[in-house]
Chain A
C-alpha cells in the first residue's frame, strides 16, 4: 500500500464548478499535511497547509480527518487557471521527510 494515495483523475469540470479531492495516508504518526499544486513540467508550489481544525484560503478549503487518515481539498468557483495537478503531501515529526501522493489532475473547461 502506498503511503499517500490519491485518485489520479483527471477531474474534468466546467468553470464555476465546485470540485473536491481526497487523499489518504497510511502512517498514523504523520504530523503535517500540505496541498501542493504542480503545473505541467513545472516544480510543485505550496497551495496551502492543512490544519486539524480545517482551514480556508479564498476559494480553497482544506480539511483533515486524523481518525480516518484522510485529507481533502475543496475548490469552489473553479477557474481555468486552476487546471493543474494537485499533490497531497504528508510529513512526519520534524519535517524530515515529505511523502508525495501521485497527484490528482484537474482540468477546468470553459
Chain B
C-alpha cells in the first residue's frame, strides 16, 4: 500500500524557536497533502490543505504566518511552526491522497509529536 513518511516523529524545542516537519509520499505522487493537528483526547482538526506548486489553503482560525506550509514537489510538503509556544504542543499529522487512485483514501504519516517548553 501507499506509504507516507513523516519526520521527525517527535521533537522538543524551546519557546520562540521554529520547527519544521516534513511529509513525504514514498511511492506515489500527491498533488494535495493535508495537515492535521490533534490535541489529547480530541479529534483530528484540519489545519490546511497543501497544494503542489501553489499556496496552501488554511482553515479558519489557523494562522498562515505561524504555520508555514510549502509543497514544492509532488512528494514533499513541509510544515514549519514558527516562534513556537507551549500551546502549540500537539500531535501534527500529515496525509496525502494518491492522485492515481479514485477511492479518495487518505494515507497518513506517522505523526510528529511536538513539545514546546
Contact = CB atoms under 8 A, between A and B. Distances in A.
Interface of A: 8, 32, 34, 41-46, 49, 87, 91, 95-103
Given A41-B91, A95-B104, A98-B106, A103 B111 contact: no
Contacts of B6: 43
**Lowest 7 CB-CB distances: which A-B pairs, in order?**
A95-B104, A43-B108, A102-B43, A100-B44, A100-B43, A43-B111, A43-B110
Given A43-B109, A98-B34, A103 B43 contact: yes
Interface residues of B, number: 22
Majority DSSP secondary structure for residues of B touching A: strand
A38 to B, nearest CB: 8
Nearest to B108: A43
Given A41-B91, A44-B108, A45-B108, A96 B43 contact: no
B113 interface: yes
Contact of B42 (A45, A49, A98, A102): A102
A43 B106 contact: no
B101 to A, nearest CB: 10
A44 B44 contact: yes
A49 B108 contact: no
Given A87-B44, A97-B46, A100-B43, A42 B111 contact: yes
B63 interface: no
Contacts of A87: 43-44
Nearest to B6: A43
Contacts of A8: 41
Interface string B22-51: 000000000000101000011111100100
Given A43-B108, A43-B110, A49 B44 contact: no
Contacts of B34: 98
B43 A101 contact: yes
Given A96-B49, A100-B43, A100-B45, 12 more contacts: A32-B104, A42-B111, A43-B93, A43-B109, A44-B44, A44-B93, A46-B106, A49-B105, A87-B43, A87-B44, A101-B43, A103-B43
